[in-house]
């Protein structure tokens, strides 16, 4: 099966319903991708991921390049076989992780040199090698190497960073083999709306299978991020998938879907689960709070996840307070189920041309005590 994207319906708000096909299966959009940084979504098995409703997952090029190495994964049959996940996989280029290294990295026209956070060894990623690594991993959707513009950033820095990302994007496209993998372009430009417009034009002129908004949720205030999303998403081709990288909360997802975004990834559901925070229709539930010590109810009444079907808040609190690994597993199963269910609810609302009503109900639910 080749990569393709079909836009099935656009709600009157601008929210979009679509279907994406990849060599490893199809899924509906809008979609949330659980993050499996090191070829594993923390605390859960692939079978549990599938049961939670995950249609596609994300893995990280930077981490797999360092350990165990892309050649080893390739020789063992590729990432799908290596991690026992039969569904679609998207790999990011490692640009954000390199950005996070700060002073441990040096960036120039050639690419980025950095010290491994594992052993301090000197490593280099170029646009060409980032593509080579992702081709060896065998992901269904791959990303070009880019520079994630920090926040705050002076305009001159944002301009130079954006232009470097464009030059790297062209090199990535030229380096990519015709092997069935889809390559998405990344729009940068910091928090400058005119640069976002310029970047969207440049990246779409290069031409990619899909388009992503990068460089958001990097410390900026929420209204600023929302403004960039609202004014940047419509600049991306309507016939192609639109991916918002590294975002975010359930509220973020609802806002971005309304403005035409199709794909998301974020560590929030899994990281929050390990920290004892569970997502519900009424908002966050912090399981360590004393009020749940004797609470026999599930995390959320009516939730169809394995955790809610079998365990009480009191037991989950006990596991968390005792430092038991099972607590992280059960919390993660619930949070991933919640995120997948939220995306299905939005898909249904778009299909029925009722996204505005869904949004009102979503936010009124969060206001309940």
pLDDT score at 368: 53
Each residue's pLDDT tens digit, 296-338: 999 999 999 999 999 999 999 999 999 999 999 999 999 999 9
What are the CA-CA distances from residue 163 to residues 24, 187, 284 (Å)?
34, 10, 40
Residues forming the active site = 92, 265
Per-residue pLDDT at 56: 98
Q: What's the average model confidence in pLDDT over 24-37? A: 98
- The rounded percent of the chain whose pLDDT value lies above 90 is 92
pTM: 0.97
DSSP string, 115-177: E-TTT--EEEE-HHHHHHHHHHHT-SEE--------SS--HHHHHHHHHHHHHHHHHHHHH--
Give dist(CA 44, CA 321) in Å, integer: 20
Q: What pLDDT is recorded for position 307? A: 98
Average pLDDT in the 14-34 region?
Answer: 98
pLDDT at 102: 72
CA gap 265, 246 in Å, rounded: 5
The three-state DSSP-derived secondary structure of 326-349 is HHHHHHHHHHHHHHHHHHHHHHHH
For residue range 262-279, what is the model confidence (pLDDT) as tens digits?
999 999 999 999 999 999
Among the listed residues 84, 59, 212, the one whose alpha carbon sits nearest the alpha carbon of residue 137: 59
- Element (DSSP H or E) covering residue 263: strand 263-265
pLDDT band at 105 (very low <50, low <70, confident <90, very high): confident
Comparing CA positions, the residue from 241, 50, 22 lying closest to residue 138 is 22
Domains of the chain by residue range: 4-266, 273-366
Residue 199 has a CB neighbour count (10 Å cut-off) of 29
- The model's pLDDT over 51-84, given as tens digits with 9 standing for 90+, comes to 999 999 999 999 999 999 999 999 999 999 999 9
> Pairing mode, if any, of strands 25-29 and 16-22?
antiparallel
Burial label, 138 (beta-carbon count in 10 A; 0-12, 13-18, 19+):
buried
Residue 107: its H or E element: strand 105-107
Using 50, 70 and 90 to split pLDDT, how confident is the model at 369?
A: very low
- Model pLDDT, residue 330: 98
Instruction: Identify the three-state secondary structure at position 92.
Output: strand
4-266 has CATH 3.20.20.105 classification: yes
């Amino acid at each position: 099966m080749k990569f393709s994207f079909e836009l099935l319906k656009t709600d009157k708000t601008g929210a979009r319903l679509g279907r994406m096909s990849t060599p490893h299966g199809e899924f509906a959009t809008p979609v949330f991708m659980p993050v499996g940084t090191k070829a594993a979504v923390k605390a859960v098995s692939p079978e549990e991921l599938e049961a939670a409703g995950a249609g596609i997952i994300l893995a990280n090029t930077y981490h797999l390049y360092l350990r165990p190495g892309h050649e080893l994964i390739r020789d063992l049959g590729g990432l799908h076989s290596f991690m026992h996940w039969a569904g679609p996989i998207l790999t990011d280029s490692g640009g954000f992780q390199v950005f996070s290294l700060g002073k441990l990295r040096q960036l120039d026209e050639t690419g980025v040199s950095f010290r491994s956070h594992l052993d301090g060894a000197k490593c280099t990623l170029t646009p060409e090698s980032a593509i080579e690594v992702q081709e060896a991993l065998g992901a269904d959707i791959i990303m070009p190497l880019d520079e994630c513009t920090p926040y705050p950033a002076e305009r001159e820095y944002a301009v130079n960073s954006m232009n470097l990302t464009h030059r790297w994007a062209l090199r990535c496209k030229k380096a990519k083999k015709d092997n069935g993998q889809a390559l998405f372009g990344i729009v940068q430009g910091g928090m400058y709306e005119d640069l976002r417009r310029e970047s969207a034009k440049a990246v779409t002129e290069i031409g990619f299978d899909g388009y992503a908004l990068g460089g958001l949720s990097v410390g900026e205030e929420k209204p600023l991020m929302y403004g960039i999303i609202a004014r940047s998403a419509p600049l991306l081709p309507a016939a192609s998938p639109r991916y918002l990288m590294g975002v975010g909360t359930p509220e973020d997802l609802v806002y971005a879907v309304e403005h035409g975004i199709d794909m998301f990834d974020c560590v929030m559901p899994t990281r929050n689960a390990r920290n004892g925070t569970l997502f519900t229709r009424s908002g966050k539930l912090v399981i360590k709070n004393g009020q749940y010590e004797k609470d026999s109810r599930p995390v959320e009444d009516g939730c169809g996840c394995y955790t809610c079907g079998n365990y009480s808040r009191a037991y989950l609190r006990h596991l968390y307070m005792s430092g038991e690994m099972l607590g992280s597993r059960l919390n993660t199963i619930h949070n991933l189920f919640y995120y997948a269910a939220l995306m299905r609810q939005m898909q249904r609302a778009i299909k029925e041309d009722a996204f505005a009503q869904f949004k009102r109900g979503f936010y009124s639910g969060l206001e309940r005590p």
